[in-house]
Amino acid sequence: MTIFQEIFVPLCATVALLVFVRTLRGAGNRRNGLLWGLMWLGAAAFIAVPKSTTTLAGWLGIGRGADLILYVATLCGLGASLYFYSRFRKLEVLVTGLIRREALNSPRQGVKAADAPRS
């Protein structure tokens, strides 16, 4: 086992355990907790047995395990970007609606031209 594996396999397993414990205690969504915990366990497994990514890639018709990891990471990144963009847009529309409603419900009296300060 390499020094990288000796450091990161227990680290990933510990993070997975913490995620599972936190999820069981009710902190957060169970589905998200399960997903993140499984991802950390998968990372620990792939780090512990690096040739498993090459075997899995071969089953999927991809040449190397590193390419498989790159493709999966790219797709996950694009999916996360789309998810966060859609949430940002929903918040933006919500804030715009709130501001519009507030502006229409309580219009501010404008300053008359005669009362305006002169510079």
Q: What is the mean pLDDT of each run of 10 residues along the chain (119 residues)?
A: 93 95 87 91 93 93 93 94 96 95 76 57
Give me 23's structure tokens: 């999820």
For the chain, domain boundaries: 1-49, 65-106
> What pLDDT does 102 receive?
86
Cα-Cα-Cα-Cα torsion 37, 43, 47, 52, nearest 10 degrees, comes to 110
State how far the Cα of 29 lies from the Cα of 93, in Å rounded to an integer: 25
> What pLDDT does 108 receive?
66
Q: Is 1:44 a contact under the CB 8 Å cutoff?
A: no
State how far the Cα of 22 lies from the Cα of 59, in Å rounded to an integer: 35
> What pLDDT does 115 receive?
56
Which residues lie below 8 Å from residue 50, measured CB to CB, with a gap of 6+?
A: 65
